[in-house]
Amino acid sequence: MLVVEGLTRRFGTLKAVSDASFVIEPGAFVGVIGPSGAGKSTLLRMINRLVDPSEGVIRFGNENVTALTGRDLRRWRRRAAMIFQQFNLVGRLDVLTNVLMGRVATVPAWRSLTGLWPEDDKVVALSALEQFDIGSLAAKRAEHLSGGQQQRVAIARAMVQEPELILADEPIASLDPRNTRVVMDALLRINRHFGITVLCNLHSLEIARSYCDRLIGMAAGRVVFDGAPVQLTDALARDIYGLDSEQVL
């Protein structure tokens, strides 16, 4: 269970996230929606501890995530894997090596640096690629893949970290409609099949409504909606996005 209490992040005088509180049950697929600048990325980055909160507490199970340092913090970052809009692969390296990067913590540094990955890890990485129908691309350079393929490599890399939580920051924002479905289906599959909790920032309300069990709406740093997709009426959605009644969602 992920518990966020009174989470706030200031950048100078700006409150990027202001007093956010919610509890996420294990195995949920939760969408964070809201306009650009609402604080969605800052919220996810705080949960991963890429950004330090100004105030508030994050707990995961019995662990006080906000208090973690050093080795414990690095372990947390593997348990809470991030997926980014721009995939964040190493373009010049092959796909398999990119996925193996997710195993780096389990492998002595000199072995990963010299490319001597343990055979077991290679098997794990390859089977992760196969899960997302990209096993045949293992030897290709990451930069030669399409956006949808690259994002699936990033998801495979996250999966080999054996995460308990996936934090996806606008994972489909750079993709065309077909790849949007492919990548959202991949995230949904790992959620349903492995029970991994997914917290996913989405700009697209339509996608959020069709994939998520629950939506957290943010506007100007605040949580302004928290409920099931069916509870999010068009009028509420327009409020979150600051649209008037004539504008289409």
Contacts of 197 (CB under 8 A, 6+ apart): 2, 24, 25, 26, 27, 28, 29, 30, 164, 165, 166, 191
Q: Find which of ligand ADP, Mg ion, none residue 38 binds, CB within 5 to 8 Å per kind.
A: ligand ADP
Shortest distance, position 61 Cβ to ligand ADP, whole Å = 26
Residue 42 lies near ligand ADP (rule: CB under 6 A): yes
The answer to whether residue 69 forms part of the interface with ligand ADP (CB under 6 A) is no
Q: Which of 7, 20, 39, 87 binds ligand ADP (CB under 6 A)?
A: 39
Q: Is 114 in the site for ligand ADP (CB under 6 A)?
A: no
**Is residue 32 a contact partner of residue 50, using CB atoms and an 8 Å limit?**
no
| Partner from Mg ion, ligand ADP, none binding residue 184, C-beta < 5-8 Å depending on class | none
Instruction: Rule CB under 6 A: say whether 149 interacts with ligand ADP.
Output: no
Residue with the CB atom nearest Mg ion in the bound state? 41
Asked if 36 interacts with ligand ADP (CB under 6 A), we say: yes
Q: 156 or 232, CB closer to ligand ADP?
A: 232
Partners of 17 in beta bridges: 9
Nearer to ligand ADP, 95 or 202 (CB): 202
Counting beta carbons within 10 angstroms of the beta carbon of residue 162, is it exposed (0 to 12), middle (13 to 18) or buried (19 or more)? Answer: middle
SS3 state at 163: coil
| 54 DSSP assignment | S
Q: Which two tokens stand for residue 112?
A: 């990963």
